[in-house]
């Protein structure tokens, strides 16, 4: 887990975040519309929102125009610097170098919506939830997004792509066995996040998009040999609502260039085995464009 100000894994200078944007999905409007619609339907106000683990503020502008004030938070000092340069200074922005586990600098019960994309697995989830509850107004929303690796809608190519991803996962896990909590949280997607109905309204919505042919994020990333060491943790409440849908707005045409950008956005270690697997995949893909999509988790909960 990261220390305050420390730029872990995602050390963001401008170049890093530019490459990151290239290698991650073009998130369709429908994703943010679902969040806004849920928030409004649950009586949420649109004064202040806090984007936790915002990184280089890749998504911030997608929601900032809905609220009077935007808080941009990230544990990494250099990420916040990039976010500032990217968004520009404005009275409506407050930048915080802050771990999501920490909210004591924010006024209690003052935030209408907390949003975190692709970040909760990095954190101590219980402490993050406590900090979220501390800052949210009663009736406020927590929205979490997860969309990390694509799947190819061609069985043979998808198998070859998985070889690359699985090798990447194996290298990461084996290089830092102490980070097992991180890998277990990441591999469990949002399923491991408990929403205690003492603090959250019953009926957390757990949306999974684009799990075509059963290809969940977990199945894409966790190699079968690691099933036991990175267990699929589930902390579902009895009233949780599960929604499985396809959202074709996430579909894209995959070619060798974009697939390489996606891989590079994870800054993979030099590894001859992975390079060989990549070559096999790239050779099979050739100069074609092949339909692909991103499995997505969107989890929506309301503070009591
Ligand atoms: C994969 S990036 C996601 C960035 C952005 N939310 C997005 O979806 O593009 C993960 C971000 O989480 C941040 N992060 C990691 N641990 C954190 C923590 N404990 N508290 C707050 N941010 C954290 C990292 O610095 C990084 O910017």
CA of 186 to the centre of ligand 1 (A): 13
pLDDT over 70 for what percent of the chain?
A: 96
Torsion sign over Cα 219, 115, 21, 63: positive
Atom of ligand 1 minimally distant from the CA of 8: 25
**In terms of DSSP H, where are the helices of 138-205?**
155-175, 180-187
Q: CA dist 195 to 22, 108, 123, 228, 257, Å?
A: 33, 19, 16, 25, 40
Q: What is the pLDDT of residue 190?
A: 97
Nearest to 172 by CA among 267, 295, 264, 261: 267
pLDDT band at 178 (very low <50, low <70, confident <90, very high): confident
Q: Which of 53, 56, 101 to mutate to test the pocket of ligand 1 (most atoms within 8 A of CB)?
A: 53
Tokens of 57: 């503020």
Ligand 1 atom nearest the C-alpha of 147 is: 8
Is the pLDDT at 3 greater than 60? The verdict is no
Q: Do the bridges between strand 69-74 and strand 48-52 make them parallel or antiparallel, or are there none, so unpaired?
A: parallel
CATH number of 3-152+181-252+293-302: 3.40.50.150
Report how far ligand 1's centroid is from the alpha carbon of 59 (Å): 12
Q: Whose CA is nearest to atom 22 of ligand 1?
A: 53
Residue located nearest, by CA, to atom 12 of ligand 1: 53
Instruction: Round to whole Å and give the CA distance between 293 and 304.
Output: 35
pLDDT (0 to 100) of residue 183? 86
Query: How far does residue 53's CA lie from ligand 1's centre (Å)?
Result: 4
Instruction: Evaluate the CA torsion angle 266, 56, 40, 126 in order and state its sign.
Output: positive
Cβ < 6 Å from ligand 1: which residues?
A: 2, 8, 10, 52-55, 58-59, 74-76, 79, 99-101, 117-119, 122-123
> Is the pLDDT assigned to residue 286 strictly greater than 80?
yes
Q: Would you state the pLDDT for residue 172?
A: 87
Please provide the average confidence, as pLDDT, over all residues in the chain: 94
139: tokens are 């009736």
Rounded to 10 deg, the angle between the 256-264 and 14-22 helix axes is 140
In Å, what is the CA distance from 88 to each residue of 57, 70, 146? 11, 12, 26
Closest atom of ligand 1 to CA, residue 124: 19
| Å from CA of 196 to ligand 1 middle | 24
Strand order in the sheet with 151-152: 151-152, 290-293, 252-254
173: pLDDT strictly greater than 90: no
Distance CA 292, CA 153 (A): 5
pLDDT tens-place string over residues 60-84: 999 999 999 999 999 999 999 999 9
User: Which amino acid residue places its CA nearest to atom 20 of ligand 1?
Assistant: 99
Cβ pair 6, 76 in contact under 8 A:
yes
* CA 54–ligand 1 middle distance (angstroms): 6
Q: What is the pLDDT of residues 82-97, one digit of tens each?
A: 999 999 989 999 999 9
Mean pLDDT, rounded, for 204-229: 95
C-alpha–C-alpha distance, residues 304 and 292, integer Å = 39
* pLDDT number for residue 7: 54
Q: Which residue has the tokens 């305050």?
A: 4
Distance of CA 172 from the midpoint of ligand 1 (Å):
18
What's the CA-to-centroid distance between 293 and ligand 1, angstroms?
23
Task: Label residue 302 left, alpha or beta by phi (over 0 means left) and psi (-120 to 50 means alpha).
Answer: beta
Which of 32, 61, 75, 96 for a ligand 1 pocket mutation test, highest count of atoms within 8 Å of Cβ? 75
For the segment 190-213, the average pLDDT, to the nearest whole number, is: 97
- Residue 4 pLDDT more than 80? no
Kindly report, residue by residue over 252-267, the tens digit of the pLDDT: 999 999 999 999 998 8
Instruction: Find the mean pLDDT for residues 48-67.
Output: 97
pTM of the complete model: 0.96
pLDDT of 5 over the 80 cut: no
Please check the confidence at residue 8 and state whether its pLDDT lies above 60.
no
Output the residue whose Cα is nearest ligand 1's atom 10: 119
- Angle ∠(62,28,63) on CA atoms, nearest 5: 15
Q: Tens digits of per-residue pLDDT, 22-45?
A: 999 999 999 999 999 999 999 999
pLDDT level of residue 1 (50, 70, 90 thresholds):
very low
Residue 101 token pair: 């586990």
- H-helix or E-strand spanning residue 297: strand 296-302
- Average pLDDT of the residues in 129-150: 98
Residue in 3, 55, 106 to alter for ligand 1 test, most ligand atoms within 8 A of Cβ: 55
């Amino acid at each position: 887990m990261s220390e305050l100000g420390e730029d872990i894994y995602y050390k963001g200078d401008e170049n890093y975040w530019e490459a990151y944007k290239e290698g991650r999905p073009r998130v369709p409007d429908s994703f943010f519309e679902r969040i806004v619609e849920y928030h409004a339907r649950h009586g949420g106000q649109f004064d202040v929102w806090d984007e936790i683990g915002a990184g280089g503020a890749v998504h911030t502008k997608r929601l900032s125009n809905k609220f009077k004030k935007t808080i941009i938070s990230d544990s990494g000092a250099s990420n916040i610097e990039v976010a500032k340069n990217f968004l520009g200074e404005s009275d409506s922005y407050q930048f915080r170098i802050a771990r999501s586990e920490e909210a004591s600098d924010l006024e209690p019960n003052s935030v209408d919506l907390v949003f975190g994309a692709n970040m909760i697995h990095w954190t101590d989830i219980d402490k993050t939830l406590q900090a979220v509850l501390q800052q949210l107004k009663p009736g406020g929303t927590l929205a979490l997004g997860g969309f990390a690796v694509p799947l190819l809608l061609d069985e043979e190519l998808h198998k070859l792509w998985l070889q690359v991803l699985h090798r990447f996962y194996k290298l990461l896990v084996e290089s830092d066995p102490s980070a097992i909590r991180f890998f277990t949280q990441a591999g469990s997607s949002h399923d491991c996040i408990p929403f205690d109905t003492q603090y959250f309204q019953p009926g957390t919505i757990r949306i999974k998009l684009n799990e075509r042919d059963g290809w969940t994020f977990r199945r894409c990333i966790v190699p079968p040999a690691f099933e036991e060491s990175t267990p699929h943790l589930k902390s579902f409440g009895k009233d949780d609502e599960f929604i499985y849908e396809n959202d074709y707005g996430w579909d894209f045409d995959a070619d060798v260039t974009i697939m390489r950008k996606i891989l590079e956005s994870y800054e993979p270690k030099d590894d001859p085995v992975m390079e060989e697997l990549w070559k096999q995949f790239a050779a099979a893909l050739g100069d074609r464009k092949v339909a692909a999509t991103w499995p997505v988790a969107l989890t929506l909960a309301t503070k009591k």
